[in-house]
Amino acid sequence: MNSPTVLSIAELTEMTTQIFRNAGVSDAQATAVARTIVAGERDACKSHGVYRIEGCFRTLKAGKVMPQAVPELLDDGSGVIRVDAKGAFSPAAFELGAPVLAARAKELGVAALAINSCLHFSALWPEVEALTDQGCAVLAMCPSYSSVAPTGGTEALLGTNPVAFGWPRKDNTPYVFDFATSVAARGEIELHRRAGTPLPEGWAIDAEGRPTTDPAAALDGAMLPFGGHKGSAISTMVELLAGVMIGDLTSPEALEYLGSMSLLPHHGELVIAFCPKRFAAGRSDPFARAEVLFEAIAGQGARLPSQRRYAARIKSEAVGITLTAEEMALLEKLRTQGLDAV
């Protein structure tokens, strides 16, 4: 009963899709959401794996996501492609817009996809990789919930505002980074609280805006941006470009709209795609030259980002994904009880 279960990627995808279908989510949304969640499990990013289903279900149960909404593509032929997700989970909206974005980037050199009114629960790297697979370089970002104080400030305002970038590599996994602009994730602070260990300096402030290493005080206060005022500025840029500019909610507005961080944030996302061949314009081969840079980085012992994910992926593709007995029990409960499970 307590032994782990090994499922193929296809099996876990089918199981996850069915769980969402059972909960009243449309086929198109369910399959796209399942692909994203299983990508997290496949790459050993447990925090973006099946664990996320409960958050999706809580949001469904609260009526704060539209399970049958059909995202709409708005394309005027310009460099800005829009998808109105109409309150749906983001993956189906992204999958609708991504091929148009890649084609437009190849046509114009650079193009952007603005997704509006979506519920975004995943890491950005599955989206980034979908575009590097099409030969594009990609920069993606989205706001989240107010939980980070701007540097020099005293209270939560900015979100953890992830930024991700991808560069396609020939016959290799792409160069991809994807990180929160907070110095640490809220989950890491929670782990310190449970372990009773102090936080490193510079992670957080308390409710009075004073620096703290007490995890409980930090959870009542605010996290801090990575890299001091530079990270704070980048996080502000995310609010401006991927919130304000695309006509969607900023992190403080998303929190005000839902009143709770226990549900998925309702907001938008910005994805910028570049066609390196168009930019290089025959001056040199950008893909060959990028390899020289990657070799120089790895050659001095520095790691390229995402390598741990790619190693886990190879293993998952070869031998399947291992789920614990508890994880399997959770999936079974979600499958049979639907929204009553949360």
Residues 34-53 that bind a second copy (CB under 8 A): none
Which string of x and - marks every residue 73-102 that binds a second copy (by CB under 8 A)? Answer: -x---xxx-x--------------------
Q: Fill in the DSSP letter of residue 196.
A: T
No. of H helices and E strands in the chain? 13, 12
Contacts of 300 (CB under 8 A, 6+ apart): none
Task: Give yes or no for residue 107 binding a second copy (CB under 8 A).
Answer: yes
Is position 284 an interface residue for a second copy (rule: CB under 8 A)?
yes
Active-site residue, 48 included: yes
Residue 188 bears catalytic tag: yes
Interface with a second copy, residue 201, by CB under 8 A: no
Nearer to a second copy, 1 or 302 (CB): 302
Q: What is the footprint of a second copy within residues 308-327 (CB under 8 A)? A: none
Q: How far is the CB of 81 from a second copy (least distance, A)?
A: 9
Say whether 233 sits in a helix, a strand or coil: helix
User: Whole-number minimum distance, CB 102 to a second copy, in Å?
Assistant: 14
Residue 223 beta carbon to a second copy: minimum distance, rounded to whole angstroms: 14
CA distances from 271 to 43, 60, 107, 125, 144 (A): 22, 26, 16, 11, 15
Q: Pick the piece of the chain touching a second copy (CB under 8 A) from 18-26, 120-128, 236-244, 328-336.
A: 236-244
Minimum distance from CB of 319 to a second copy (Å)? Answer: 29
Q: Is 152 in the site for a second copy (CB under 8 A)?
A: yes
Question: Is residue 157 helix, strand or coil?
Answer: coil
Q: By CB under 8 A, name the one of 89, 145, 179, 203 that touches a second copy.
A: 179
Q: Between 90-108 and 27-42, two packed helices, what is the crossing angle to 10 degrees?
A: 80
Q: Which of the 8 DSSP states describes residue 47?
A: G
Q: Which stretch binds a second copy (CB under 8 A): 36-44, 49-57, 119-127, 176-184?
A: 176-184
Supply the minimum distance, in Å, between the C-beta of residue 275 and a second copy.
8
Non-local CB neighbours of 182 within 8 Å, separated by 6+ positions: 147, 148, 160, 161, 223, 224, 225, 226, 231, 235
Catalytic pick from 11, 54, 155, 188?
188
Which is closer to a second copy, CB of 21 or CB of 267? 267
Active site residue 269: no
Catalytic residue among 47, 78, 260, 262: 47
Residues numbered 247-266 forming contacts with a second copy, rule: CB under 8 A: 247-248, 250, 252
Determine if 281 is a binding residue for a second copy (CB under 8 A): yes
* Alpha helices, H only, the chain: 9-22, 27-42, 51-61, 90-108, 125-132, 186-195, 215-220, 228-239, 251-258, 276-280, 286-299, 307-319, 325-337
Longest dimension (CA), the chain: 62
- Burial of 292 by CB count in 10 Å (0-12 exposed, 13-18 middle, 19+ buried)? exposed
Q: How far apart are CA 73 and CA 75, in angstroms?
A: 6
Q: Of residues 55, 87, 153, 320, which one binds a second copy by CB under 8 A? A: 153
Q: Which of 48, 120, 266, 267 is catalytic?
A: 48
Rounded Cα distance, 313 and 176, in Å? 14
Count, residues near a second copy per rule CB under 8 A = 72
Among the listed residues 246, 255, 258, 334, the single contact to a second copy using CB under 8 A: 246
Say if residues 264 and 91 touch (Cβ distance below 8 Å). no
Please report whether residue 232 would count as binding a second copy according to CB under 8 A. yes
Which one, 60 or 114, has the nearer CB to a second copy?
A: 114
Q: Which of 55, 87, 109, 135 binds a second copy (CB under 8 A)?
A: 109
Smallest gap from residue 26 Cβ to a second copy (A): 24
The residues that are catalytic are 47-48, 188
